[in-house]
Amino acid sequence: MDILAHLLWSYIIFKGIPNMNWALFFGIFPDLFSFAPNFLHLLFTNGWRKYKKKSLQEVQKIIPPYIFMIYDITHSLIISSVTIGLVTLIGGTFPIFMLAWPVHILFDIPTHTKDFFPTHFLYPFSTFCVNGIRWGQAWFMVTNYTFIIVLLFLKSF
């Protein structure tokens, strides 16, 4: 799912909890850490040209391999659960706001296909993934943002 939708869903789900801003951060952190380094690199080197007029499969071949590694780490239910467990042990309280991280992954599992950034949610133990739908399709974007807008409206009362 796109990063703005992740942010808005995090707001809808975690509005009103203590440290809600951290929930917003953890709701986008898996994509932010995966894509921001390459985004900044392309921005400052004008590297966008090599991505122009390419299919998703062609784009996937020229994306630096480290991005897939970061994506797998930040999109693992195993790694997010262990991290939340460690933070709970060290901090002495359960960080509810960090649940936005596994929620992000749960949203990504059915909204990614095997062809483009599949969500290996059992990484590093398995590269199993669900061949879901492509979130960039118009019908999905319209449906998703309709739900988001309606729920934001209902949450505003």
Query: What values do phi and psi take at 5, rounded to 5?
Result: -65, -40
Which of 72/108 has CB closer to Zn ion?
Answer: 108
* Segment interacting with Zn ion (CB under 5 A) among 25-33, 87-95, 137-145, 146-154: 25-33
Among 7, 9, 14, 31, binds Zn ion (CB under 5 A): 31
Name 53's Cβ contacts closer than 8 Å, sequence gap at least 6: none
Which of 88/115 has CB closer to Zn ion?
Answer: 115
Among 11, 14, 26, 30, binds Zn ion (CB under 5 A): 30
* Torsion over CA: 136, 139, 145, 151 (sign): negative
Query: Residue 5 CB, nearest distance to Zn ion (Å)?
Result: 10
Closest among 39, 6, 23, 20 to 135, alpha carbons compared: 6
What sections of 15-137 are H helices per DSSP? 20-45, 56-62, 65-74, 77-91, 100-108
Query: Residue 154 CB, nearest distance to Zn ion (Å)?
Result: 25
Query: Residue 2 CB, nearest distance to Zn ion (Å)?
Result: 9
